A and B are shown apart, each in its own frame.
Chain A
Amino acid sequence: MSRCAVRIGSIALVLLALIAVVQSPARADDRLVLRLDGNPIVLTHVRTQGSARAVAADDPGVQALLDRIGATLTWQPGQRYVLFTTAEPVVVSFSIGDARYDVGPVSEAAPFAPFLWDGHPYVPLDEFIHALDFAVKPDGSQLVLQPQLASLDVQASGEGAKLVAHAGMPIDARIVSQSPTKLVVAFDDVGSMLPPSRAVAGGPVQRIDVHTTGTVTHPQTQVTLFLVPGTTHSAPGTDDQRDFTLGFNGVSGTQTVAQSAPEPVESATPAPPDQPVMPASSPSALVQVTDVQTQPQNGSVLVRVSVNGDATYDWHRLRPPDNRWWLDVHNARLAIPPQDEPGADPVTAVRVHQVNPDTVRIALSLSDFDSVDVVPNATGLTITVNSTIADETSVPHSGSGTVGSAAVAQTSGVPENWKFAPRPAITQYVAPNPRLIVIDPGHGGSDPGSEHGGIVEKVVALQISKRLHDILVARGWQVMMTRTDDRDVYQPNDSAHDELQTRDDIANSSGARLFVSVHLNAFINAGPNGATVYYYKPGDLALAAAVDKRIASEVNVKNDGLVKEKLYVIHHANMPATLIEAAYDSNPDDRALLQDPQWQEQMAKAIADGIEDYAGTAPPASVGTGQ
């Protein structure tokens, strides 16, 4: 081949490549520019589908739009669902191959089903935009993405009410005119997808009219509220920096109006078991069976029964060929709806019901004379049905036991819920130094913990811990603190794991009798308050319960009780351990307590009393190892 021919061939190849580069985007997808607040949102993966448009959910322009409005996308290749979560939050769900899509609880029909093209999931553009509470409006040659006023809810509250206005973006509004019977609120730069007028039944607001004026780029939506004469209103506000709120007749614009949980879509759905799932506070009260879960596992069937306190049980089985088996939990109420469901082989049916006012029965129909094991634990019991056929002559036909704290003392085997955990031998723990108590003041150094209203968790946790130290030392205990000043126990800016494990290592290597971690609780709003005592391991429960009881009786603070949580620092302490959240630094009343030295002393003394209720008084000095 001549050099000339090679050159011509090369030029032809380059030209072909250029044509391909120029043509391929046009063949693949259209480009669409939408303007939001004057800024372009460039969609590069748009396809025409009949008379409608589809956009790739993973288009960078879509991601820019989602970022702008605080929404997110959940989608992975090979996945059926394309899910958007708005900042409200509402989940907008599309499904590949299904024209139906859901916006929260509302199902809608799109003109075409979402589809995959070149590995991208395409969803109907107009429906997607609408679901985000926006509208696409032409403005000359441009397309404008206009946030829409999407809801105006009037939430009744006694004689008053609260108006909540929601749009596709955070909105602000101003009151432009008012009279005894009419209030006009203007929303700038917001259009509306609401009906022009609607009546409101009952309450101070009787009717709402909505009217949009202005331009495509600067619309203004005026909302006129027709009021019962004499109605008063609050200053405009916002609950969450997004929605506009206004209160009437004494209801604050930012006050939470009690709302029920979302109504079940299906009328047959059982009512919510709206009871706290925590140990019963009074031994004489009925405990609750809070959950019964049936799950097949490796050829067996596990029936997990959750009980929120101490209770006795007995079980019985009939003789073949009648393969019924049942277990009664005494002094108990069923806190969930009764169950009557088919099981999985070898269990043919599971029935759970209140057999009499203080007994809950879990009845199993078995496919054969299958072997059944019952293992109680601190939070209930597990029934394991194996498909191996039991020997009728040698197996018992009844049995009994206890669940809850007593089960811990009685169960020498491995509690079933430790199957997946590196399990410290709690029930066998014998303290090398029974005089020694380890106190762990939470956080410290580079980790301040929570901070609210001038209170820093690491500071107050240390103050209470030092008081606890002094009380215990005065009572003859040896006490080791994981920190005695404001510092990281492992090293500054370490990971939470390293920090917490170091504290556990100190306790574990010391051979202490028990471990007490002192913290403050916090929440994102000022609502929750009180003291909470946490435990996790079965061996923690008695210590935590004793401390909680003393806090409840001796300390001027709301008692939020005992709560089981898988908290790292108490899980990995070999000895009985508890973590005390003394009060909420996010609550103003609790903050006042936390800053009061007398209250801190009260709390420290209650913890010390609880420790001694659990462990007895300090052993003589000859028992200790001189820590």
Chain B
Amino acid sequence: MIAALASWYFTTHGRSPIGDHITVYYTKVDGTTEVPWTVSMRPQLSGESVAEHLRNTVLYAATQAVAGPPGGVSAIRFPQGTHLLSAGVNDSTATVDLSQEVKNQSSGVLGESGAFKSLVWTLTALPGITQVAVRVQGQTLDTLPGGHLELDEPLRRSDW
């Protein structure tokens, strides 16, 4: 009983380690350099568990990473129109479901890889997240159509 109450109290009153800002990365056009910038983060709501706050933060961070920095900044970007459909967290894996526009890759390895690299670096900067599983319209793909980068397993920073 006490353990159940303690568990309930922690999940609803526990403090998330996520602060009031998060770091989002973009990949420079050299294809390798990750540049961080910060976006403000809303505080954990009362009644929002640590896990819910992390899941919401993953969604927010991934949306920012997929959008990329403001238009004037020279960066490798996802294809126009690519956006996040949903996000989830399972243990240390963040799962992101991207819209089908991500398949409209018109660039080579440089653009394809640089876009995913920024997404992986952004999400693995969050506490407890070590890897990112990618879905497209809910489906796991081995690679993008005509693509090169392998997407069938969660991506980690060490993949680059």
Contacts and interface: CB of A to CB of B under 8 A. Distances in A.
Interface in A51-110: 70, 72-74, 76, 79-81, 83, 85, 87-91, 93, 95, 97-98, 100, 102, 104-105, 107
A547 interface: no
B158 A91 contact: no
Nearest to B145: A496
A202 interface: no
Contacts of B156: 417, 420
Interface of B is mostly: loop
Given A105-B39, A295-B128, A568 B148 contact: yes
A102 B64 CA distance: 12
A560 B70 CA distance: 26
Which of A83, A278, A566 has the most B CB atoms < 10 Å from its CB? A566
Contacts of A276: 30, 32-33
A581 B42 contact: no
Interface in A216-249: 239-240, 243
B66 A519 contact: no
A450 B56 contact: no
Which of under 10, 10 to 19, 20 to 34, or 35 or more describes the interface residues of A? 35 or more
B38 A269 contact: yes
Given A102-B40, A495-B142, A568-B150, A417 B158 contact: yes
A297 interface: yes
A563 B31 contact: yes
A104 B70 contact: yes
Given A74-B83, A276-B30, A528-B31, A450 B107 contact: yes
B108 A523 contact: yes
Contacts of B56: 79-81
B29 A527 contact: yes
Given A420-B153, A495-B142, A495-B145, A565 B106 contact: no
Contacts of B29: 523, 527-528
Interface of B: 21, 23, 26, 29-40, 42, 45, 48, 52, 56, 59-60, 63-64, 66-74, 80-81, 83-86, 92, 99, 106-111, 113, 124, 128, 130-131, 141-150, 152-160
Interface of A: 70, 72-74, 76, 79-81, 83, 85, 87-91, 93, 95, 97-98, 100, 102, 104-105, 107, 153, 155, 164, 239-240, 243, 256-259, 261-266, 269-270, 272-278, 291, 293, 295-297, 304, 306, 377, 379, 417, 420-421, 443, 447, 449-450, 457, 495-497, 500-501, 519-524, 527-528, 532, 534, 536, 560, 563-569, 571, 579, 581, 584, 586
